[in-house]
């Protein structure tokens, strides 16, 4: 169970930036639940279906903490989440998977990017410098699960490997577009960006974010043996 720092959070009521931040995290966690639950129904066997279903369920755990943080700043988590709710439907419509492996790669890539976005935007500190959120982005084990399941398949099938690498490039383009759109529509999120250098202009911010997210994506594709 994640911890909150009640005493500090209470000193910062109704901050609009905090509302946008908890809304983002809540939305991503709920979206991860929904997409993993849907993926599970398409799994090729019951064992994988149960494993992915359990990972889906794990994504909901963070909502308790986010509800608490929202309440502390006088906000409603569900209202905060509502402003994000159409974004992923667009993503899904633009990236219909052709088979099970494309579905797996789509979720692997998209939720990798969104989890990195959550990490990049998690410098939610109270005035005394202590973090307001802990462990929202707990490792669900999904990345390791996909690497164990898909890695050997990719290694043994050059044609599939080439197709999924191409598919991964298409998906990550859409996912980076989503990340950029989330920030453009919720500019207060920038105040939680965990960067050492200062922001200079809007163009710089976008380029910096793209670089952060692309690095994580390249690492994940490398783990699968796919060219990013």
CB of 69 to its own copies, least distance (A): 15
Nearer to its own copies, 97 or 225 (CB): 97
C-beta of residue 17 within 8 angstroms of C-beta of residue 127: no
Nearest approach in angstroms of CB 53 to its own copies is 5
Footprint on this chain of its own copies (rule: CB under 8 A):
30, 33-34, 37-38, 40-41, 45-47, 49-50, 53-54, 56-57, 60, 63, 78, 81-82, 85
Least Å from the CB of residue 49 to its own copies: 7
Residue whose CB is less far from its own copies, 41 or 128: 41
| Distance in Å, CB of 116 to its own copies, minimum | 23
Q: State which residue, 75 or 172, has the beta carbon closest to its own copies.
A: 75
Quote the CA–CA distance of 7 and 2 in Å, as a whole number.
16
Pick the closer one to its own copies by CB: 63 or 115.
63
Minimum Å gap between C-beta 176 and its own copies is 24
At 89, list the tokens.
């439907």
- CB of residue 50 to its own copies, shortest distance in Å: 6
d(CA 122, CA 134): 9
Cβ closer to its own copies: 57 or 228? 57
Q: Between residues 26 and 168, which has the closer beta carbon with respect to its own copies?
A: 26
């Amino acid at each position: 169970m994640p911890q909150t720092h009640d005493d500090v959070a209470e000193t910062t009521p109704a901050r609009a930036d905090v509302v946008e931040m908890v809304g983002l995290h809540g939305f991503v966690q709920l979206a991860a639940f929904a997409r993993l639950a849907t993926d599970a129904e398409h799994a090729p066997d019951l064992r994988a279906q149960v494993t992915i279903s359990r990972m889906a369920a794990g994504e909901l755990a963070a909502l308790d903490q986010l509800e608490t943080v929202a309440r502390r700043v006088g906000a409603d988590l569900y209202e905060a989440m509502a402003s994000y709710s159409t974004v992923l439907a667009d993503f899904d419509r633009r990236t219909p998977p052709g088979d099970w492996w494309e579905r797996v790669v789509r979720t692997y890539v998209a939720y990798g990017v969104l989890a990195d976005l959550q990490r990049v935007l998690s410098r939610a500190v109270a005035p005394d410098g202590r973090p307001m959120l802990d462990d929202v982005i707990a490792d669900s084990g999904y990345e390791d699960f996909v690497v164990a399941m898909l890695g050997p398949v990719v290694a043994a099938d050059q044609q599939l490997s080439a197709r999924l690498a191409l598919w991964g490039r298409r998906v990550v383009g859409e996912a980076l577009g989503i990340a950029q759109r989330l920030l453009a529509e919720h500019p207060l999120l920038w105040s939680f960006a965990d960067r050492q250098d200062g922001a200079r202009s809007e163009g710089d911010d976008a380029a910096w974010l793209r670089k952060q997210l692309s690095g994580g994506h390249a690492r994940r594709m490398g783990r699968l043996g796919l060219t990013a």
